[in-house]
Amino acid sequence: MEPTVPREIARAILDGFDKHYRLFRESSARAKYRFVRGDWAGMREASVARIGMYDRRVVEAVEVLHTRFADVVGDEALWPEIKTAYIALLYEHLQPGCAETFYNSVACRVLDRRYYRNEYIFRRAAVSTEHLAGEEPTYRCYYPSRDGLRTTLHEMLRGFGLASPFQDLERDVRRILRALRAHFPAGWRPHDNFQLQVLSSLFFRNRVAYAVGRAINGADEYPFVAPLLRADDGSVYVDALLLKPENIGRVFSLARSYFMVDMEVPAAYVAFLQSVLPTKPRAELYTVLGLQKQGKTLFFRDLVEHMRHSTDRFAPPAGTPGMVMTVFTMPSFPYVFKVIRDWFEPPKDTDRRSVEEKYLLVKHHDRAGRLADTLEYSSVALPLARFEPGVVAELERVAPSQIEIDDEQLVLRHVYIERRMTPLDVYVQGAPEPTVRAVMDDYGAAIEELASANIFAGDLLPKNFGVTRYGRVVFYDYDEIVPLTECEFRRLPAVSGVGPNDIFPEELPQFLLPRGKARDALMELHPRLADPAFWVATQERIKRGFVDDPLPYPQEIRFEVRFAEAS
């Protein structure tokens, strides 16, 4: 065989990735233009379109290989040479990690699963992503000790190059300074290295642009996020300054849509974000930036590494077993693994395809901070010895088509993986009254915010909601999820027959919770959940084009609430 053939195949695969990343970056960069114009529908459409962009490029690359190299591409013995040639092409490449993942996606569509080994694909990273330098700086530095903090903030906010004018930049800077004084009441002594470092690209999502940065003073780092909003007249203003880790963490939650960020070197953005969000793994950071395939690669590597250094086994999680999914988790690893059952017991009336469509709907929909994101995998091989016997028996009983035992491996043909949360019904058991009241308030808010985003969760029982590590209530059971506008909300008693989409909100209190402090708190704090008029009014707003975008930070820290000033 000609020695150039492996290089030509490697070049064809990298060409496919380079096309993908060029289109990905173009779509992300146009978010600034959409924000300035207030094109919110275009922002949503682009966000959805970008999710499917990767798979289309993979299919194209596979077709190129089968067309140009039909006689040799199926020869497994050739692929170690192709991988070696591919590594050579990644020298000085600015997205080598993502390019390795693209190679894996193409190779796994050509190779049999028994070749999913490091000599054939990138089970481990081969090219370092540290200290990559593109033509554009990843972040900009500002020096308050030299220029003064007020002048520095003016320069920093203007540095993003938004075509829209600021509504009142001096007012915004004044509010930022007041927020800083409130957060650091004792002030601080500037060290020689005192500086502000701000990522060069804004982070766009729905109607908000986020400036992400950190202040460095001596040995200390202070992360911050400043959300920018567009007023109806087209001007821009700073809405808040986020300094607390829990507020910054919620902005980067995977229960929300992915960001649009123009990144020449994505690894450099992730490295910066790790200093801002030190508890968030790189896999989640890549995912929230819209590079969810790279997130999947890193997650699986993290899982393999964790299993190498741990001894606990996969077991059923806390909470009520599901009727559609069989679920297991590893206590030392904060994720749950969900496999669709082959059959469903009454009253569930659905099928595998419908369940998969619901999960795809959630992936494409604005999750409003209330729908858990999932990683979807095929042909995942895990050590059989790391499973409790009861988990294997349950998989064999309810999902035999989805598993295969291959020597000492349990192969999951299709699995969803998501962050583990405490089920809401478990969370409130034995909890003190203030805790119950607080979480019931957020439970009601979750239902209302999903409705405002045109989502009716279907099965609203607490067992289908989880409480995150930040204390936020999130929905994670999608088999009955539907657009709110497809529902019929009616009052009791029904004067005619009950249709398949009929919902009677007056029954919700009794349906959701037994008598007691939890139900009383929910109905006191969110009485309109039991009022059909609320649901109908929400539907009408959505039909008129008013789809709400709940902000991912508390109302009380918004400047217009916190520092209301006379005009």
Instruction: Assess whether pLDDT exceeds 70 at residue 456.
Output: yes
Clarify whether residues 256 and 146 are in a common domain. yes
Q: Is 497 contained in some domain?
A: yes
Clarify whether residues 83 and 208 are in a common domain. no
Instruction: Assess whether pLDDT exceeds 70 at residue 566.
Output: no
Instruction: Return the residue matching tokens 């607490």.
Output: 462
CA distance 251 to 550: 11
- Based on the structure, what is the number of domains in the chain? 4
Clarify whether residues 286 and 389 are in a common domain. no
Clarify whether residues 211 and 353 are in a common domain. no
User: Among residues 432, 121, 99, 431, which one has the least CA distance to residue 291?
Assistant: 99
Which pTM value belongs to this model? 0.93
Q: What percent of the chain has pLDDT over 90?
A: 78
**Mean of the pLDDT values across residues 89-97?**
96
Q: Is 281 contained in some domain?
A: yes
Contact indicator for 412, 327 with CB cutoff of 8 Å: no
**Mean of the pLDDT values across residues 263-276?**
96
- Torsion over CA: 450, 417, 246, 363 (sign): negative
Clarify whether residues 186 and 259 are in a common domain. yes
- State the burial class of residue 139 (Cβ atoms within 10 Å of its Cβ: 0-12, 13-18, 19+): middle
CATH assignment at residue 376: 3.30.200
Clarify whether residues 224 and 315 are in a common domain. no
pLDDT tens for each residue of 540-562: 999 988 777 789 999 999 999 88
Report helix, strand or coil for 519.
helix
Domain finish residue from 266, 289, 304: 304
Q: Is 373 a catalytic residue?
A: yes
Give the pLDDT band (50/70/90) at residue 497.
Answer: low
Find the catalytic residue in 172, 239, 262, 373: 373
Q: Is 122 contained in some domain?
A: no
Clarify whether residues 144 and 279 are in a common domain. yes
**Model pLDDT, residue 21:** 98
Q: Is 95 contained in some domain?
A: yes
Range(s) of the domain holding residue 212: 139-304
Give the pLDDT band (50/70/90) at residue 208.
Answer: very high
Q: Is 130 contained in some domain?
A: no
